[in-house]
Amino acid sequence: MPDGYDATYARWRQDPEGYWLQAAGGIDWSAPPARAFDPGQGVYGRWFPDARLNICHNAIDRHVAAGRGGQPALIWDSPLAGAKSRLTYAELLDRTARLAGAMAARGVGAGDRVVIYMPMVPEAAIAMLACARLGAVHSVVFGGFAAAELAARITDAEPRLVLSASCGIEPGRVVKYKPLLDAALALSPHRVGACLVLQRETWRCELEPGRGEDMEAAMAAAAPHPCVEVAATDPLYILYTSGTTGKPKGILRDCGGYAVALHHSIGLLYGLGAGDVSWTASDVGWVVGHSYIVYGPLLAGCTSVIYEGKPVGTPDAGAFWRVCAEHGVKVLFTAPTALRAIKKEDPEGRLLAGHDLSKLEALFLAGERCDPDTALWAERLLRRPVVDHWWQTETGWCITGNFRGAGLFPMRAGSGGKPAPGYVVEALDEGGKPVPPGRIGSLAIRLPLPPACLPGLYRAEARFREAYLETFPGHYNTGDAGMVDEDGYVWVMSRTDDIINVAGHRLSTGAMEEVLASHPDVAECAVVGVRDSLKGQAPLGLVVLKAGVDKAEAVLARELVALVRERIGPVAAFKEARVVARLPKTRSGKILRATLRKLADGDEFAVPPTIDDPAILEEIGAVLKEARPVA
C-alpha cells in the first residue's frame, strides 16, 4: 500500500538528508555517500559531496550483471525512416563501450566536452551514455537549430569531439546535418579534435579526411572501454537553453544528484519499475529527452521507446496509439501541443479503435501549460489518469506533479499538481513576500534545490546568481508566474520574462529580436508570443522601419522570416512580422511587451500609466486587425 503523497512529502520535510540518503540506496556507488548534502560547497550547496560513481554503469552494466542483458533497453520506432529496431541491455552495453573506446582513442577523457548533434536514433542515446562512461561531459544540440546556434554552443562548450549523423528526417524533407555541422565548425573559432558521423541510409554524406569519420567503422575498430569512476559532483552534461538574451544558458548537471533523483522519480512519479516500457515522445535535444528517454528509464532498468516521428502526419493522428499498443507502453509522456495536434485531427478519437492500449496506465504531460480542455479531452478518451507536471531544463525533473508511486491525489485540470519531495514552492510578491493562497505571484523555490537541479551555469557563476538567485534571496526564481492554492496545488500561468513556449519548445524573444534588428531595413523591433491554438504560443515580430525605407511589408516579412530560420533555425517557428510606425514604450524607453502581447491576443488590458504615448496602442491594434499582407 503506497504511503500517500502527504506522508511522503512530510517524510522528506522532516528529514531531507535521510530521505535522499535512502533514495541514494537505489544507485550503485564506487564510494557510497556518507552524507547527502554539503551546504558549504558550490553556490548553494552540493549533493552527495563525498560519493563516487559512474552513471553509465548504473544505466547499463549493472542491469546486465543482474541478468537483464536479454531485456530490450531501447526500442527505436521511426515512421519517418520506415524502420524499427530493438537493442537489448547486452547489445547496448557492447555498442556504448565500443563508442567510448573509439572516443578515448581520439583523446576524449574525463571532463572533456563532447557535442552531440543527432536526430532521434538509438545512437544519440548511445553517444550520451558513451560520454558518461568516460566521465566526459556531453552537450546535445537539438536538430531544429541552425548552424549559427550550433556554432554558439560549440564555441561555449569547446568540445574535443563532435558526434553527429549524416541527416535527420522531418516530414517531407531530409535535414542534412553534416553540412550544418560543417557550417557551424567554420563559424566557430573553436577547433574540435575529431568528428564521428553516423551514416544513415536516408542520406549518406561525404566524409573526407579531417572533416569526419564513419562512426560505425570507428566503433568496430575500437576496444570496449570500461566505466570511469567520477565524483558525484562532477558534471555529466551541459544543456543549453534559452535565456532572455540571445546567448543561451549552459545548464550544468552533476552525476550523483541526477542519478539519485531520476532513479527515485521513475518509481515515485511515474510508477514504473524494471522491465516496464516507458515512452517519452520528446527529443533527446531537450531536457525531457535527457531525463526520460535516456537516463531515467535506463537507470531503473526499464525499456525506453525512441520515436522518430510526429503525433500527426506520420502517417496519421493514430500514431501515438499505434506505438503504445505495439510496444506495450505503460506510461506515455508528451507535451500538450502533441495532444492538441491529435485532438484537432481526430477529436472523437476514432483512430484509437483497433489499438490495444491495455498496458497503458497513465499519460504525463509537461513542457508548457496544459489547457484544461486538452487535459480533460485526453482523460475522457483514454480513461486513464492524465498527469500534468511542471518542469524546467534547470531542474532536470519535475518541480510539481502527481505521484503514482505514492498513490495519486485528485487531479485539478489546469494545475501542475503539488511539489515533489525536495521542493518548497512559493508564490512571491515583488518584495519577496508570499502572496495569499490563490493569488498570482512569482513562483520561487526555497533553497537548496533538490538533487538533479542545476548546481550552476557552465563557466558563468555570476550569470547564475543574477538570473536565478538574486531576485528573491534564499530562493531560486523560476521565471514562471502562478499561484499556490489553499490545498497546495500549484498553478503555472505564464513567464515573468521574455521567454516564450512554442509547441513545447522554449524560445527567447530576445534572441529573435537580435536577428530582426540585424536586418538593414529595421530601426527597432519587438517580438512577443501570441496565443496559438495548436502550439500554445507563436512568435510575432513588430518592426519599425528605418527612415526612407520603402519596401512592401510582405517582402520584408518574408526576408525576416528567412533570416530567423537561417540564424536560429526552423524550431523558432517564426512566421509573422508586421510593420508598425512606432513601438509602445515607457517614458524611460522600455518596450511594453506585456501590453503588446495582450493587444495581439485581443485581451483586455489597462493602459500602463508609464506609457509614453497611449495613441501608439491604437495604431498597432489597427495594424494587427488588418489581414496579413500577401507578397
In the complex, the residues that contact ligand AMP under the rule CB under 6 A are 241, 287, 366-369, 388-393, 416, 478-480, 492, 495, 501, 506
Q: 606-618: string of b/e by CB count within 10 Å (b at 16+)?
A: eeeeebbeeebbe
SS3 590: coil
| Bond before 520 cis per omega within 30 degrees | no
- The CA-based dihedral angle spanning residues 293, 299, 303, 309, taken in that order and rounded to the nearest 10 degrees: 10
The cell numbers describing 498, all together, are 521574455
- Residue 291 contacts which entry, ligand AMP, ligand COA, none (Cβ below 5-8 A, type-dependent): none
- Residue 121 contacts which entry, ligand COA, ligand AMP, none (Cβ below 5-8 A, type-dependent): none
Residue type, 159: P
463-502 footprint of ligand COA as x/- string (CB under 6 A):
---------------------------------------x
Distance CA 292, CA 492 (A): 22
The cell numbers describing 78, all together, are 521511426
CB atoms within 10 A of CB 548: 6
The cell numbers describing 289, all together, are 529527452
Output the CA angle 156-148-103, nearest 5 degrees.
55
Tell me if 341 contacts ligand COA by CB under 6 A: yes
Our CB check for ligand COA shows the closer of 575 and 582 to be: 575
- Residue 391 contacts which entry, ligand AMP, ligand COA, none (Cβ below 5-8 A, type-dependent): ligand AMP
Tell me if 571 contacts ligand COA by CB under 6 A: yes
Beta carbon of residue 287, minimum distance to ligand AMP (angstroms, whole number): 5
Distance CA 50, CA 34 (A): 7
Whether residue 167 contacts residue 308, with contact meaning beta carbons closer than 8 Å, is answered with: no
225: Cα within 13 Å, side-chain hemisphere:
31
Tell me if 563 contacts ligand COA by CB under 6 A: no
Going by C-alpha positions, the residue among 381, 424, 421 that lies closest to residue 405 is 421
Distance CA 542, CA 583 (A): 8
Tell me if 570 contacts ligand COA by CB under 6 A: yes
Tell me if 393 contacts ligand COA by CB under 6 A: no
Beta carbon of residue 345, minimum distance to ligand COA (angstroms, whole number): 10
Tell me if 530 contacts ligand COA by CB under 6 A: no
Beta carbon of residue 469, minimum distance to ligand COA (angstroms, whole number): 25
Q: Which stretch binds ligand COA (CB under 6 A): 58-66, 128-136, 403-411, 567-575?
A: 567-575
121-150 footprint of ligand COA as x/- string (CB under 6 A):
----------------------xx------
Tell me if 116 contacts ligand COA by CB under 6 A: no
Our CB check for ligand COA shows the closer of 54 and 501 to be: 501
Our CB check for ligand AMP shows the closer of 337 and 478 to be: 478
User: For the chain, what percentages of helix, strand and coil (3-state, to nearest 5) are there?
Assistant: 35, 25, 40
The cell numbers describing 380, all together, are 475522457
Our CB check for ligand AMP shows the closer of 162 and 398 to be: 398
Q: Which stretch binds ligand COA (CB under 6 A): 81-89, 305-313, 444-452, 548-556?
A: 305-313
Our CB check for ligand COA shows the closer of 301 and 401 to be: 401
Whether residue 542 contacts residue 596, with contact meaning beta carbons closer than 8 Å, is answered with: yes
Beta carbon of residue 103, minimum distance to ligand AMP (angstroms, whole number): 28
Output the CA angle 54-33-36, nearest 5 degrees.
115
- Residue 266 contacts which entry, ligand COA, ligand AMP, none (Cβ below 5-8 A, type-dependent): none
Positions 163 through 202 that interact with ligand COA (CB under 6 A):
168, 170, 175
309-338 footprint of ligand COA as x/- string (CB under 6 A):
-xxx----------------------x-xx
- Residue 63 contacts which entry, ligand COA, ligand AMP, none (Cβ below 5-8 A, type-dependent): none
- Residue 246 contacts which entry, ligand COA, ligand AMP, none (Cβ below 5-8 A, type-dependent): none
Going by C-alpha positions, the residue among 355, 331, 311, 339 that lies closest to residue 79 is 311
Distance CA 188, CA 182 (A): 10
Q: 263-284: string of b/e by CB count within 10 Å (b at 16+)?
A: bbbbbbbbbbeeebbbbbbbbb
CA distances from residue 479 to 159, 420, 471 in whole angstroms, order as listed = 30, 18, 10
Q: In this chain, which of 286, 390, 397, 489 binds ligand COA, going by CB under 6 A?
A: 286
Whether residue 317 contacts residue 311, with contact meaning beta carbons closer than 8 Å, is answered with: yes
Beta carbon of residue 53, minimum distance to ligand COA (angstroms, whole number): 27
- Residue 416 contacts which entry, ligand COA, ligand AMP, none (Cβ below 5-8 A, type-dependent): ligand AMP
Residue type, 49: P
In this structure, the strands spanning 46-47 and 37-38 are: antiparallel
- Residue 175 contacts which entry, ligand AMP, ligand COA, none (Cβ below 5-8 A, type-dependent): ligand COA
Distance CA 110, CA 564 (A): 37
Tell me if 573 contacts ligand COA by CB under 6 A: yes
Beta carbon of residue 285, minimum distance to ligand COA (angstroms, whole number): 7
Whether residue 503 contacts residue 536, with contact meaning beta carbons closer than 8 Å, is answered with: yes
- Residue 143 contacts which entry, ligand COA, ligand AMP, none (Cβ below 5-8 A, type-dependent): ligand COA
Distance CA 433, CA 440 (A): 12
- Residue 570 contacts which entry, ligand AMP, ligand COA, none (Cβ below 5-8 A, type-dependent): ligand COA
CA distances from residue 361 to 5, 84, 319, 325, 399 in whole angstroms, order as listed = 19, 24, 18, 12, 22
Distance CA 533, CA 512 (A): 21
Beta carbon of residue 455, minimum distance to ligand AMP (angstroms, whole number): 17
Tell me if 507 contacts ligand COA by CB under 6 A: no
Beta carbon of residue 613, minimum distance to ligand AMP (angstroms, whole number): 32
Contact set with ligand COA (CB under 6 A): 143-144, 168, 170, 175, 282-283, 286, 288, 310-312, 335, 337-338, 341, 366-367, 502-505, 535, 570-571, 573
